[in-house]
Amino acid sequence: MTIQFNTDNNLTIHENFRTKLNDLLQDEFERFGDYITRMEVHLSDENGGKKAQNDKKCVLEARLAGKSPIAVTDHGDSMEQAVNGAIDKLKKSLDTIIGRMKDHSTH
């Protein structure tokens, strides 16, 4: 599974955070590896340098072979909160979609 990272102009991802995030996503989505061809991670700080609640945003987009992409969004006070929230949402969506795909293939 290929993982592509994108950030807005207010955010710079340091290499160690990128590596940690890449490893986390590989681990969290390993069981979906047969279905996900690519994942895009969009990280942004909606208030730039100013401190605000829930201003960190993570959009995770999973590309499934032969299907439309699935995207989820989560906000948090830290980038870690936003990423973890988006991971939870995407896993739930993938469980539902892949479950339906399996149901249809057995009928």
Q: What is the pLDDT of residues 76-102, one digit of tens each?
A: 999 999 999 999 999 999 999 988 887
Q: For residue range 18-70, what is the model confidence (pLDDT) as tens digits?
A: 999 999 999 999 999 999 999 999 999 887 767 777 789 999 999 998 888 99
Q: What are the start-end ranges of the E strands in the chain? A: 2-7, 36-45, 56-64, 70-76
Q: Is the pTM of this model over 0.85?
A: yes
Over residues 2-21, mean pLDDT = 88
Tell me which residue range forms the domain holding 19.
2-106
Contact 61, 39 (CB under 8 A): yes
Residue 46 maps to which CATH number? 3.30.160.100
Domain count, the chain: 1
pLDDT at residue 106 greater than cutoff 70 = no
